[in-house]
Amino acid sequence: MSILHWAILTPFIAAIFIPFLFRYIKKAHTGWFVLFIPFILFVYFLSYLPVTSEGNTISKTIEWVPSLGINFTAYIDGLSLLFALLISGIGVLVVLYSIFYLDKTKEQLNQFYVYLLMFMGAMFGIVLSDNLIVLYIFWELTSLASALLISYWYKRDKSIYGAQKSMLITVFGGFSMLAGFCLLYGIAETFSIRELITQAEFISTSGMFVPAMILILLGAFTKSAQFPFHIWLPDAMEAPTPVSAYLHSATMVKAGIYLVARLTPLFGGSWEWFWILTIVGLITLCWGSISAVRQKDLKGILAFSTISQLGMIMSLLGIGSAAYFYDSDQSTAYFAVATVAGIFHLLNHATFKGGLFMAAGIIDHETGTRDIRKLGGLMSIMPVTFTISLIGLAAMAGIPPFNGFISKEMFFTGTLRVTELAEVGSLGMLIPIFAWIASIFTFLYCLMMFVRTFFGSYKPEEHERKAHEAPIGMLISPIILVSLVLVIGLFPGLVAKPIIQPAVTAILPTLATNSEFTVKLSMFHGWNLELFMTIGVAIGAITLFLLSKKWSELALYKRERDPLNTLYDRGLDGLVSGSQTVTRAQMTGLLRDYFTYMCVFIIGIVAYTALCSGAFLFSIEESAHVPFYMWVLTILFILATISTLFVKKRITLVIVVGFVGFLMALLFVVFRAPDLALTQLLVETVSVLLFMLAFYHLPELPKETAKTPVKVRNILISAGVGAMVTLIGISSFIMGSNSGLASISEYFIENSKELGGGYNMVNVILVDFRGLDTILEGLVLAIAALSVIAMIKLRFKGGEDV
């Protein structure tokens, strides 16, 4: 196993030892021990920067199920390394922050850090896996770990509700994504992402190309909170603030972004990919920014702002895929600006949003509230938190000299350039318009959050605690993050060549061979339309803020909860009530009902399959002559079987059933199977005697009380099962006779003596050729014996189905 594989598995291994540390080391905070894990991994992944910046990749493979093409292949290129650095780097700061945020005397830290490490390892698995099935396994692990972290304060109903919602929505997307992966495998016969990309042109000609794309995008949209699947993210804010800062700003919600970016070389050449990503991203951007304005809770504002920013990145990846529609390097590089903006903003968002979540957690921790209606005047009381929030909100609003301004300008550039595509027509003009409107609301909610938290009158009576600045330990992490916001904004070249460019060339591989392509990031791009759009955004947002008293009375503003939650709640209630109805119909407690369901299902599925495949065959042309005595035996067999339905006494019924068994033994004799006939005679004789001894002491059979429709139903089901078995037997015989294949009996005839050492072929088959099957049959008999004993011990209370 390579070091790269160990790096992925390290968080899982460390999680095993956390409960022991928590139990035996009481004096120290568990987080100090956990802190070393992401720090070491961050340093380790930093060592790959020289490799990826030169355009090289690393791949290490462990065979798992090679026959199905499922191998644990760890792969590092510019894109996966960017995410690995975010996961480990932000992970260090989040763990450090949690040490001071979570009280070791009041919290179950062993559970918290186990879930956090499990999530960290799962995220590493997603971004470093080349195999789709392995990626899917880690994908679902992130959903599980995220739900556990959201429900960390499990005594709160809202925490449980948020965890359940995130689990249901993201797992639904995960199942859809798995179906898409299977379709891709059906087309290309490989689960390797790199091999799929090499077959992109062939895969695009398949009729399953678009269905596979849509199913995979469902997984990406649910995980990255795209409209209309975004509703789980605001409810996930019930998790502790370190969780929000880690999962829902820098890591988990970026998993869908990563998947889209990783598969862009496979799907990017299609217009369906371009339009779906662009439209969904823009709708999410607009809806999230407008919804954020309506929020009164700090984390609620940040949750919807995250949704909005994720929509922005998603739309940029969609717009950037226009680079695949041109063959020339110049055109590809021209439209690649949107992809560069998306990747750069992904990095920027992790820095300023992580710092903002931590600042919101500090305000909540030190005042006891996150309601902006109860806050105000905190600028002088919490000056460091004020500065952190100022830098973070200014970056998110797109104000210079912070990093968010650069990516926002490039966002406008990408939306304007896409209008030059002749194929998008007049509809393309709406893209920059929607981008500009959403940016106004982004600026507005940043302004509202900042002013109403730190300016105005101080309201100590509204707070649960006396407000004061947080301890230095809680401030270190957000200070580092907002420092990165400023440094990257002033010196964007520090990340352009070593980090952003390798990630972009991984998404647009043709740029890797273009020697003239270089990612250039700068604060000032000249007096262009993008800059005037930014000025217009600021003017529009400030105007709306000054007029807030007029529109703050609108019903839409007062309604904080997303209206789509109503559809979710009603849908979930409908599923619960529907499942209860189905369960009540199925689980009646009556054995005959269970047999009815099973028989109807088996008849239906077998009949449908056989009719669709033409498997039901019936022909008497090649049938052998049937002697007269066989007709007599068959008629007697049928009459004896039917007569069991009309017998009223148990002893008589046992005798008739025994007669049927003896006729069966006689048929075995006729067909030259003396060993089977002997076995049947012995079993039937013993069964008849035992039943007669037991049933002699039982009362008479109760009178039949079933209504006529029930009787008709039972007759139809019984006839259906009999007809199905008969047709299957006849069809199997005809198909076997006409297949042209040699009979398997010839193999047993030739090898029973040599391989099995016996002349009795039936015994050799049972003991040697089918030895394992015979053992399992013996196990079935043992289970049946235990069931008989249980039934003898059972005492009915009355009313049961007997």
What DSSP element (H or E) covers 732? helix 708-738
Decide the pairing of beta strands 58-65 and 70-76.
Answer: antiparallel
| pLDDT surpassing 50 at residue 510 | yes
Mean pLDDT across the stretch 790-796? 68
pTM confidence score: 0.82
| pLDDT surpassing 80 at residue 741 | no
pLDDT in the model for residue 726: 84
Residue carrying the six token digits 């005798």: 655
Tell me the pLDDT tens digit for each residue of 601-630.
999 898 888 888 777 666 666 666 778 888
pLDDT in the model for residue 535: 94
Burial class (CB in 10 A: 0-12, 13-18, 19+), 637: middle
Confidence label for 785 from pLDDT (cuts 50, 70 and 90): confident
What is the separation, in whole angstroms, between the first and last Cα of the chain? 59
| pLDDT surpassing 80 at residue 739 | no
SS3 of 638, please? helix
Integer CA distances (angstroms), 740 to 31, 728, 736, 745, in order = 70, 19, 8, 14
pLDDT in the model for residue 802: 47
Domains of the chain are 287-552 (no CATH), 584-742 (1.20.120), 743-802 (no CATH)
Q: Decide: 18 and 114 in contact? Cβ < 8 Å.
A: yes
Tell me the pLDDT tens digit for each residue of 459-501.
888 888 888 898 999 999 999 999 999 999 999 999 999 999 9
What DSSP element (H or E) covers 472? helix 472-490
Tell me the pLDDT tens digit for each residue of 152-179.
988 888 999 999 999 999 999 999 999 9
Confidence label for 797 from pLDDT (cuts 50, 70 and 90): low
For the chain, the average pLDDT equals 88
Confidence label for 290 from pLDDT (cuts 50, 70 and 90): very high
> Residue 241: CB partners within 8 Å, gap ≥ 6?
97, 101, 299, 357, 358, 360, 361, 364, 365
Nearest CA to 75 out of 258, 339, 212, 283 is that of 258
750-755, long-range: CB < 8 A, 24+ apart: none
Tell me the pLDDT tens digit for each residue of 4-57.
999 999 999 999 998 888 777 777 788 899 999 999 999 999 999 999 998 899
Can you name the residues that pair with 59 across neighbouring β-strands?
75
- Please write down the HEC assignment for all residues of 231-276: HHHHHHHHCCHHHHHHHCCCCHHHHHHHHHHHHHHHHCCCHHHHHH
Q: Which two tokens stand for residue 581?
A: 């109805």
| pLDDT surpassing 80 at residue 735 | no
Helix %, strand %, coil % of the chain (to 5): 75, 0, 25
pLDDT in the model for residue 651: 79
